[in-house]
Amino acid sequence: MELSALFRKTPAPDRIEKLESIAKAFANEEVLKVNFICTHNSRRSHFSEILFRTAALHYGLKHVQTFSGGTEGTALYPVVAQSCKRFGFEIIEMQACEQRAWKIFHPTLETESTTPLLFSKVYSHELNPQEGYHAIMVCDSANEACPVVFGAKERHSLMFVDPKRSDGTEQQSKVYDETLVHIASELGYIARRVSELI
């Protein structure tokens, strides 16, 4: 699927009000810092960080900075990178902070040198913003475990179903790709609306 089609895929009608609310909050920022938070920072939060950064670039939003973190750090699940690759992203694997780390970027919009390093970490890690950012909670357990997200300017809930349920099954690639498309459609909608509102 072409990148523009990925970001223009229509979100489900029952999600539009939530997406509009987030877009309006984002449109007021001179520098928009967004930290996507999940429990383990291994799947949905990384998908979200990658896809919102890419959507922002696609829509010409050069003032956007994206981050991700967890209530605990584990590891970026490699199938996330494999799914991104199937949609035209470049994948570079390396070591950082004593774990596997990745550069995942779309070559039409970024280069390896301009792309942030992805690895699993807590949301308050020193490489993430410490204040003045928007926290997007992308899973129920992180949302419940963090009644307060320290340093966040605003906190938003945008839950996605965990693709982990398919791990090790024949459906794994399909489920991860569907998750990527779902997240891309909603974050693409937000980025597009921000570009229209500013």
Rounded to the nearest 10°, the torsion over CA 93, 96, 97, 100 is 20
Name the phi and psi angles at 111, rounded to 5.
-125, 170
- Give residue 100's pLDDT: 86
- Give residue 99's pLDDT: 79
What is the pLDDT tens value at each position of the chain, 198 positions in all?
Answer: 899 999 999 999 999 999 999 999 999 999 999 999 999 999 999 999 999 999 999 999 999 999 999 988 898 999 999 999 999 999 999 876 677 899 999 999 999 999 999 999 999 999 999 999 999 999 977 667 666 789 999 999 999 999 999 999 999 999 999 999 999 999 999 999 999 999
Predicted structure pTM score: 0.96
Q: Each residue of 174-183: pLDDT tens digit? A: 999 999 999 9
Cβ partners under 8 Å of residue 17, min gap 6: none
Q: Each residue of 91-106: pLDDT tens digit? A: 999 876 677 899 999 9
Place of tokens 């807590």: 122
The answer to whether the CB of 154 falls within 8 A of the CB of 25 is yes
- Give residue 145's pLDDT: 67
Residue of 8, 182, 158, 5 whose CA lies nearest to 83: 182
- The chain-wide mean pLDDT, for the chain, equals 94
Q: Each residue of 136-149: pLDDT tens digit? A: 999 977 667 666 78
> Under CATH, which number does the domain 3-197 receive?
3.40.50.2300
- Give residue 97's pLDDT: 65
- Give residue 146's pLDDT: 66
Structure tokens at 33: 């810092």
Domain boundaries, the chain: 3-197
